[in-house]
Structure 1
């Protein structure tokens, strides 16, 4: 049986908050689409309601700030979990461990980019577009595209995480224990040190 790997505390916090807000925005975004648009089919789970747009917008607003922190962390500290220079070449090794790891990195990167597209395109939305029937705004279409990409990449992210690390990898992201060097009590001191000597 695989042991549970250790994940940095900040990664778990940012990943957890990001995941919660992405899922909340994804679900409310579908309800908004289902009630106001439905161009590609609808389930009829909700009625056209301005409150749904406001709720979705609130989750998107909160996600904007969390996502910025998570994206910076992912690019600077978590680079080994994203696409590398040799990721594409490793796709030739079909079925081998390196192939699965390359796919996992690609899925992580696509997930990050899709969430970024969703956050950025969401900033260009007007809350009156759907009530006024303006369904063909370019920013809204980009937002729908991001929603589809998020759904697909999330499914691959979860499946490939299970393949690469199994259940222990999932468990590692919800562990509550952390090392003394990562204690939130010393974060203010670390921030002060970084402000005095910033390192990009």
Structure 2
């Protein structure tokens, strides 16, 4: 779901902005609506994902002892860091997406 949100977000950027470059992607009529729908589904699934991450999957997140293991080349510590950063990134994306929706950002035409 997060990958779909990332792809549709790039497609929105490519369609309406593209100031840092763009790809020759086909125009989708309501790509912003599709991106918003994917974001809504992700928002509805996020509480279950967070519950899993903080209770049953907490061993897969960064711990205090993982910081010391990062520079020793411990692969599991790096994977824990990546998992934690992905959780933070999804949280940030959902919060900022909801803030943009509530602030009344105009739909690009």
TM-score, normalised with respect to structure 1: 0.50
Q: 1:130 deviation in Å?
A: 5.2
2:106 to 126, 129, 134: 129
Query: Is structure 2 residue 50 aligned with structure 1 residue 71?
Result: yes
Q: 1:44 to 1:125 in 2, by over 3 A?
A: farther
Q: What CA deviation, in whole Å up to 9, does each residue of 1:96-119 have, x standing for no partner? A: xxx111000000000111111111
Matches of residues 47-196 of structure 1 in structure 2 within 5 Å? 47=27, 49=29, 51-94=30-73, 99-126=74-101, 128-129=105-106, 131=108
Q: How many residues align?
A: 107
Q: 1:73 deviation in Å?
A: 1.3
Where does the alignment leave 5 or more consecutive residues of structure 2 unmatched?
none
Secondary structure of the 1:125 match is helix
Secondary structure of the 1:112 match is helix
Query: Is structure 2 residue 4 aligned with structure 1 residue 29?
Result: no
Distance in 1, matches of 2:5 and 2:81, equals: 23
Where does the alignment leave 5 or more consecutive residues of structure 1 unmatched?
1-20, 133-200
Distance in 2, matches of 1:130 and 1:46, equals: 19
Query: Is structure 2 residue 19 aligned with structure 1 residue 44?
Result: no
Distance in 2, matches of 1:39 and 1:64, equals: 29
Q: 1:125 deviation in Å?
A: 2.0
Q: Does the aligned pair in 2 maintain the 1:37–1:130 contact within 8 Å?
A: no
Secondary structure of the 2:100 match is coil
TM-score, normalised with respect to structure 2: 0.87
Secondary structure of the 1:43 match is coil
Q: What CA deviation, in whole Å up to 9, does each residue of 1:22-68 have, x standing for no partner? A: 1221111111110001122111313374x110011001001001112
